[in-house]
Amino acid sequence: MTETVDAVVVGGGAMGTSIAYHLAATGLGRVVLLERETALGTGSTGRCAGGFRIQFSSEINVRLSLASVPLIRRFSDEHGLPLDVDVDGYLFLVRDEAAWAGYRAAAAMQRSLGARVEELDAVAAAALIPGLNVDGVVGATFGPDDGIADPSGLTYGYATLARRHGTAIRLGTEVTAIRASADGSRVTGVSTRDGDIDAPIVVNAAGVWAGPLAATCGLDLPLEPQPRHVVTTSGFPGAPTRRTLVIDASTMFYFHREGAGVLMGMPRLADAVATFDTVVDDRWIADELLPQAIGVLPAIEDAGLARSWVGLYEMTPDHHAILGPVDGLAGLYLANGFSGHGFQHAPIVGKVISEIVTGAPPTVDVSALRLERFARGELIGESHVV
């Protein structure tokens, strides 16, 4: 017998669990979240650095962060569930005059939207993180309200809240297709390996795997998997005491304190080539990441490597998410393509998707992020992609 529900959410990462909770909390009816793995948060969410920031270069990303970051910071107080959050800021170090002009313009835009962002000189930047190499730094921007939170904690927190509102969360359930009506004008549900589920609303929150899923109902999502390395170290003398996330804007090398050591990462040139391959490249870590790390924070030379892994960014051509309904296919909603900053936007995206589905005025106008922008050539720029 085919099961019938009011809404299906595909994907149990930060995004899917937030969407399921927010949808269920509207009183929409029976919401089912389907995750193909046997645990939640094992996709990009489980491999992410957990950073949240208001410092973006596009207005829409700043608006999403301004609405989302308070939901992360208030999560425990609001919901009575544990979530590790540190608000020690993000520090962008800029060593190039032309790039500095761009960072200052972005900071001015962020402030015009209500964000707190400071412009620092090299001395003030070094005072924040003792031991930081600020040679050649022409300026730095510091967002005191930016920080780091636990991706797994947020995902399981939203899953708990979703369950409390009646959502059924099914693990080990792969969605093999999104089904549409015979005339192709609306979705009718999904197919899984365990059978079909009928639903008038389907949300694709399948992360970097959203493209193949969307293709089953004839949609082409411009979405590429791009690998990113993360490396953690053991404790070392001179490790930063603050958890400020420091980014060297010339290479996008970043680090923050993790345990008694640091967590760090940097894009490789090869990462621009789309692949689902997540094999760790030890040679690149030794030859390129570590020299860069020591160049930015010389004390890292005395650190031992602890763990390394590779996760996948879900990149779109303009490094912005694909959000909202789809022209000509009623009932399908997309929450994809977060291009490396989806963890922090999961709270507000869940809320906004639930508002769009139920016809409530959205907290943030995300109409510029609809899929159709690619066909219209209305791409949006974002230079602060880490």
Ligand X SMILES: Cc1cc2nc3c(=O)[nH]c(=O)nc-3n(C[C@H](O)[C@H](O)[C@H](O)COP(=O)(O)OP(=O)(O)OC[C@H]3O[C@@H](n4cnc5c(N)ncnc54)[C@H](O)[C@@H]3O)c2cc1C
Q: Which is nearer to ligand X, 124 or 160 (CB)?
A: 160
Q: Is 268 in the site for ligand X (CB under 6 A)?
A: no
Q: Which is nearer to ligand X, 3 or 37 (CB)?
A: 37
CA distance 364 to 282: 42
Cβ 247 to ligand X shortest distance, Å: 10
Indicate the DSSP class of residue 73: H
Interface positions, 209-228, toward ligand X (CB under 6 A):
209, 213, 228
Q: What share of the chain is helix, strand, coil (3-state, %, to 5)?
A: 35, 25, 40
CA distance 293 to 298: 7
Give me the amino acid identity at 18: S
Q: Is 15 in the site for ligand X (CB under 6 A)?
A: yes
What mask of x and - would describe binding to ligand X in positions 356 to 385, judged by CB under 6 A?
A: ------------------------------
Q: Are 17 and 40 in contact (CB under 8 A)?
A: yes
Interface positions, 270-329, toward ligand X (CB under 6 A):
311-313
Nearest to 364 by CA among 2, 8, 68: 68
Q: Are 36 and 232 in contact (CB under 8 A)?
A: no
In the numeric block, which tokens belong to residue 57?
A: 């270069």
Which region among 121-129, 180-188, 208-216, 352-360 touches ligand X (by CB under 6 A)? Answer: 208-216
Interface positions, 162-181, toward ligand X (CB under 6 A):
174-175
Interface positions, 21-80, toward ligand X (CB under 6 A):
34-37, 42-45, 47-51
Q: List the one residue from 338, 366, 373, 382 that touches ligand X (CB under 6 A).
A: 338
Q: Is 230 in the site for ligand X (CB under 6 A)?
A: yes
Instruction: Please return the burial class of 38, using the count of CB atoms within 10 Å of its CB with bins 0-12, 13-18 and 19+.
Output: exposed
Dihedral-angle region of residue 328 (phi above 0 means left; psi in -120 to 50 means alpha; beta otherwise): left
Cβ 97 to ligand X shortest distance, Å: 28
CA distance 7 to 260: 44
Cβ 53 to ligand X shortest distance, Å: 8
DSSP per-residue letters across 117-136: -EEE-HHHHHHHSTT---TT
Q: List the one residue from 240, 342, 347, 350 that touches ligand X (CB under 6 A).
A: 342
* Dihedral angle sign, alpha carbons of residues 103, 313, 85, 357: positive
Cβ 237 to ligand X shortest distance, Å: 26
Q: Is 253 in the site for ligand X (CB under 6 A)?
A: no
Q: Is 86 in the site for ligand X (CB under 6 A)?
A: no
Residue numbers at the binding site for ligand X (CB under 6 A): 10-16, 34-37, 42-45, 47-51, 174-175, 205-209, 213, 228, 230, 265, 311-313, 338, 340-344
